[in-house]
Amino acid sequence: MSGYLPICENRDFRRIYARGRSYVSPLVVTYVMKNRAQSVRVGITTSKKTGNAVKRNRSRRIIREAARQIAPRVKSGYDLVFVARSRTPFVKSTDILCDLQKQLKEAGILR
């Protein structure tokens, strides 16, 4: 997972949900928040609404791949949380990548 650091702590996710800005599309919701570290941190979540374990894991895998591809273009100093939606497991990572690019461009954090 080069290019970014993972977000693992529940308190970090909660803080980003509460204080971060959200950008919504039918495939993924993105939360963006500035951090004090000069690194990009990424967290990925899927709820049980997404489907069974196989669908949730697929959702995480395709979001992780899209995040890996876009990470070098993201300005440093931001926390990103990607939340899978019910349509996420049925699309390819290239579709997710297009959505992420739109959302991060709208947030103004793409180079």
CA distance 86 to 16: 21
Q: Which CATH architecture has domain 5-106?
A: 2-Layer Sandwich (3.30)
Give which of 46, 38, 30, 32 is closest to 97, Cα–Cα.
30
Q: How confident is the model at residue 1 (pLDDT cuts 50, 70, 90)?
A: very low
**pTM to 2 decimals?**
0.94
Over residues 3-40, the pLDDT tens digits come to: 789 999 999 999 999 999 999 999 999 999 999 998 99
| Domain ranges (residues) in the chain | 5-106
Over residues 41-77, the pLDDT tens digits come to: 999 999 999 999 999 999 999 999 999 999 999 999 9
